[in-house]
């Protein structure tokens, strides 16, 4: 699909889509929204931008890792292959997010 902007704009749009769960749409206008279209979202402006962003990334990371481990049926090696992460780093991320890989009972 052609992209009307530059590479940096494309990367930002993809990151936004991943964080906001807008993937799967074939319509790039759904991803490239104007700032006014974000008015329906509620934000806590009592925290800094950096803190809010870290919180959003952390929440996304936890959801991603939990879904990844479920998809890999608790197999960390398989999850590492799927996500293209080093197995040791994946274990560290799982530990940081409090996710315990469990294999389904036979």
N-to-C CA span, the chain: 44
Q: Where are the domains of the chain?
A: 1-38, 46-106
Mean pLDDT of all residues in the chain? 80
Under DSSP, the state recorded for 34 is: -
pLDDT tens per residue across span 9-53: 777 777 777 777 655 555 554 444 445 555 556 788 898 999 999
Inter-residue contact 78 to 92 (CB < 8 Å): no
**Is the pTM for the entire model greater than 0.95?**
no
């Amino acid at each position: 699909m052609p992209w009307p902007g530059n590479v940096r704009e494309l990367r930002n749009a993809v990151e936004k889509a991943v964080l906001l769960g807008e993937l799967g749409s074939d319509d790039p206008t759904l991803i490239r929204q104007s700032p006014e279209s974000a008015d329906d979202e509620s934000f806590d402006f009592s925290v800094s931008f950096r803190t809010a962003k870290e919180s959003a990334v952390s929440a996304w990371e936890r959801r991603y890792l939990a879904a990844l481990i479920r998809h890999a049926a608790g197999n960390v090696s398989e999850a590492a292959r799927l996500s293209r992460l080093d197995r040791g780093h994946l274990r560290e991320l799982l530990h940081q997010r409090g996710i315990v890989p469990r294999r389904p009972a036979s």
